[in-house]
Amino acid sequence: MPEILRHPGTVLTDHVFSVPLDHARPDGERIEVFAREVVAADKEREELPWLLFLQGGPGHSSPRPVGRDAWLPVALRHYRVLLLDQRGTGRSTPANRQSLAARGAAEDQAAYLAHFRADSIVRDAEHIRRELLGEGSTWSTLGQSFGGFCTLAYLSYAPESIREAFVTGGLPGLRTDVAEVYRAAYPRVAAKNAQFYARYPGDVRRVREIVEHLAAHEVKLADGSPLTVERFQWLGMLLGQGSGAHTLHYLLENAWVRGVTGPELSDGFLEAVRAQVSLAGAPLFATVHESCYAQRSVSPEGTRWAAQRVRAEFPDFDAERALRTPDAPVYFTGEMIYPWMFDVDPALIPLRETARRLAERGDWPDLYDPRRLAANEVPVYAAVYHDDMYVDREHSLATARAVPNTRVWVTNEWEHDALRVSGGAVLERLIGMARGEV
């Protein structure tokens, strides 16, 4: 029997589904996928339409709600919500260094992880829809970031199952080569760096001092892993969030403490850095991140560490070069996955060879069907953030033009994390568009 919990104002029902690892082989190996049903307590017995939430990432579990928080209050006025732990995350069958070790060699692990992209996730959703709602049923979807990528794959694979689709910061380029994804990304990250340093000009000196120290000393985090210059630069992931620049500034201002031999990086600072740069909680984010862009008809040679290859074209991110120029800012990087991560992060080191094999794979199935999408009849309502650091605005708008029945709200009021931090305002706007109120 499903476990039922009652939180303030909500009723939560836990579901576990057995699905094929490879949906092309339904009689083969099976894994578990977990999903949590959420309904407003005063609507528990009502026949409500369903809203499937597709989490961003890839490799992150769905939210763990406590009562009516974040965007849920808006959604629960209209829907019964299903929070899906995409395969490999949360309470679904895990995919991490511990579980993958049991699968044997790196080639076997890579073959297994090839089934953890958007195409498999939407097939899981279809399996769940049929089991939970019945054949011939439909539901609405809400895709945040990578969840929007899943939405476009869903519209390519089974549009007849979707009543309406909401997308927040996640319309992908349908025919965009993975290298072009990063050629578009680095300038956006550079712009966020410029804005950060304009807001906090004193941090130019602070960051330079930290980078100079890291370049000259071996510094380790509490888990024993090294804090290198490149790893420190990865704190730029914060700059794409609404309050990320402030979070980064406050982190930097407490960097130093005077020790026996002079100034050194404080334990508190190093722990705050570790919490941001460790991928122990989401190893799939690193392992399959670039693969979520791979399509054999677009990038037949595979991803081949695209972010690392393209980085050389943008010398502003060269920390050594910045230090050779007096008073030059050291730029942080963004949502890029680099091969060095698998040399320094304890959660990723055992997966180094597995990640290499995934990066070299060239026969990734296409995720999107442009011809089927060109005939789309499902209403799509998408928030596109004008200054989104993670998902390119122009790629998103090109996709919106290519997919009929897509209405777009372009705004610079919010950043990429707006669904979570806007108090429901973003979802309210999109539902209002769907209801003809906006």
Six-digit token pair at 76? 């629960």
For residue 277, the one-letter residue type is V
Whether 416 is a known active-site residue: answer yes
Edge-first strand order for the sheet with 10-20 is 4-7, 10-20, 30-40, 80-84, 50-54, 139-144, 162-168, 380-385, 406-411
Q: Which residue has the tokens 């339409």?
A: 49
Closest CA to 164 of 85, 49, 46: 49
Out of 62, 92, 120, 145, pick the active-site residue. 145
Q: Which residue has the tokens 């914060």?
A: 238
Whether 145 is a known active-site residue: answer yes
How many CA atoms lie less than 13 Å away from 172 in the CB half-sphere?
33
Out of 62, 392, 416, 417, pick the active-site residue. 416
Return d(Cα 148, Cα 313) in angstroms, integer. Answer: 29
Just list the catalytic residues: 145, 363, 416
